[in-house]
Structure 1
Amino acid sequence: MNFDAELKQKTGEIENIILKFLPKEEGIYKNLMEAMNYSVLAGGKRLRPMLMLETFRLFGGKNESILHPFMAAIEMIHTYSLVHDDLPALDNDELRRGRKTTHVVYGEALAILAGDGLLTYAFETVSKAFEAVDDNDDKAHTVYKRILKAINILAEKAGIHGMIGGQVIDIESEGRRIEKDTLDLMYRLKTGALIQASMMIGGVIAGAKDEEIRTIEAIAKDIGLAFQIRDDILDVISDDKTLGKPVHSDEKNEKCTYVSLMNIEQAKEEVAKVTERAIKAYKSLPYKNEFLEELIIKLINRDK
């Protein structure tokens, strides 16, 4: 099977896993669940749950059912961040993944609550990982500890010292030029933190050693940085239809990006440099997952 066919198959499998954990659209406040599900089911690459699953497989993980709640939860958290990011108070975007954003369809108030709901429901979802553990297994205690560690990683990387911290740097930097080091930090937090969480959780649940998790964290940090720089480039060279969201939004919102700090060719060179560093670190691991390696390269060099 070639990479594209395998990617399509795996994306479909992940989609089914996510569907299994979404809230039912029922009850007097079912509009909330509809708005939550509308946001999650708007499409997307499912990059984070896929990286989580493939890292789990890289380290020889066995019981994938324990990982499934985390795969759904990371997509819920990522989606909530997009719902809030699109709001008029932030980027004020009306198009996401090729269709109307949540606040355009459901109104600002419900969009805010849908984002809040997705974040909270994500942690309700990961608690279901404990249900997949066999209490009669002599390694059950070890697995419980791995789940708790994974939950801690998820909370930290999604929180004030992770994605939210990066978002704060982003909004406070609008309309002014910032140093490259600050921009790198913003990208590593705003975009990279959830990618780090995805790969680290995959490794932790699989039983990877502490030093291996640190290596995975460094690899994911670079993947996030390169991914976001590539996003800066696409915001300039792509179009609304291809990208599935408005281009030139960074310029509209007066955001400092790699393209505004340097020219496009220099930004592309930065992507290549960071990607090379990530792949070199990946190759230092004593395990191999050819699909994961190709996935990393293709995602960083994507056209949309």
Structure 2
Amino acid sequence: MIKLWFIASVGELDQSNPQYKPIDLHLLESIISSTVFSGRIVYRTSLDSTNILARKLSEEGYPLGTIVVTDYQRSGRGRMSRKWLSDPGSNLLFSAILRPTGVAVQQPTGLNSLFLFNAIAAVAMVEAIRCEYGLKSQIKWPNDVYLERKKLAGILSEFSLNSGIIEYVVVGVGLNVHWAPSELADNGEVPTCIDAKTGKPACRTRLLGAILVRMDKHYRGLEAGQREGILDSYKAYSAVLGKEIKVHDGKDVSVCRGVDILPDGTLVVVGRDGEQRFLRWGDVSL
């Protein structure tokens, strides 16, 4: 199998802390050897954004399972055009190219396929973090991973359509491993990282491998039609269901209780006045 490893010059990357080990591509390949990601690692020490490069490669015909990995993003971004900050060589920054076969955006069952691609990445991260470190991370709707009410990771998915059928999906992930910003995000979120909870440096290579193995499992399940199972796992790891949360609507903030997540990804909440609301997009906080 052809190895798609493209290693750029170090450039502005400075891994000055010796305990932060670089991504070991050979170890990573050995962990993911039985997955759709095997032999399809595109590694750059630094770039503008893994999602930007992954979308470019998708348009050029790169196959299902291509993974763009970097140690530093100059223009990392999350939902709503927010910046994603990460110290060089400290965290996991990667994007996966998925090419579902004959999948429409909206399924007859009401399942929204785009939501499910976010879901498989979120569930895979939670499962890997719990397995590798015993940390009970959770999913904050719609696409963040939290640990003890602090933001640990974010997901940004982008896609291309042809006559309502998905051509490809790029699932971008930023996961704080060794480092987290010291300041609050512009929406008030408090960041954290894995090392802050374990007290020792985590192995980014093994964690990335564990995530990809689980993403492969859930992607195969999605392709086999097991979409309800993915939704059930997403709900089981939810940080908002059964909890009081703050719903942000522009400058207005209301306190609600999360009661359900529908097959299309809609979050159902109930306000203190008993009114039920259906959130298809937007922001909530814990």
Whether the TM-score (by the shorter chain) exceeds 0.5 is no
Q: Flag the structure with higher strand content.
A: 2
After TM superposition, the score normalised by the length of structure 2 is 0.26
Q: Flag the structure with higher helix content.
A: 1
After TM superposition, the score normalised by the length of structure 1 is 0.25
